[in-house]
């Protein structure tokens, strides 16, 4: 039996191992891979959003404000709360740019 799963990042071409029961984000961090911005690590901030293109996974609790049930069905999940059940192919979503645009809009509106 395999000790874990192979995660392939289709965005960068990187591949890395993820232990059984380990979140994809934790596996990325252990290997110093910077695919997504990191925030709370608990499913609440929405920074570490990825898309699972292929493979089976289970999810921990995630904020519905950032990931709807429909999005999860389409593979959009938070890397901190997704646990592979098979090898996965993922894409890192360009979330940080959208997040900073929202912050700028709020800042501008306050001035």
Confidence of residue 12 (pLDDT cuts 50, 70, 90): confident
Q: Which range, of 26-35, 39-48, 68-77, 101-110, averages the lowest pLDDT?
A: 101-110
What does the pLDDT read at residue 105?
Answer: 26
Distances (CA, A) of 45 to 55, 70, 78, 86, 97: 24, 18, 9, 26, 15
| pLDDT, mean of residues 20-26 | 96
State residue 35's pLDDT score.
Answer: 85
CATH of 4-110, picked from 2.60.120.260, 3.10.20.30, 3.40.50.1980, 3.40.190.10, is: 3.10.20.30
Structure tokens at 15: 């591949």
pTM of this prediction exceeds 0.85: no
Q: Are strands 82-84 and 57-59 parallel, antiparallel or unpaired?
A: antiparallel
> What average pLDDT is seen over the chain?
83
Sketch the domain layout of the chain as residue ranges.
4-110
Of 92, 91, 93, 86, the closest CA to residue 18 belongs to 86
């Amino acid at each position: 039996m395999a000790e874990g799963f192979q995660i392939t990042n289709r965005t960068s071409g990187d591949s890395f191992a993820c232990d059984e029961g380990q979140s994809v984000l934790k596996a990325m961090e252990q290997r110093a891979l910077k695919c997504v911005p990191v925030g709370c690590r608990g499913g609440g901030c929405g920074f570490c959003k990825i898309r699972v293109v292929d493979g089976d996974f289970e999810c921990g609790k995630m904020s519905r404000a950032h990931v709807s049930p429909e999005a999860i069905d389409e593979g959009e999940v938070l890397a901190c709360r997704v646990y592979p059940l098979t090898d996965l192919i993922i894409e890192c979503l360009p979330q940080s740019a959208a997040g900073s645009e929202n912050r700028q809009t709020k800042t501008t509106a306050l001035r």
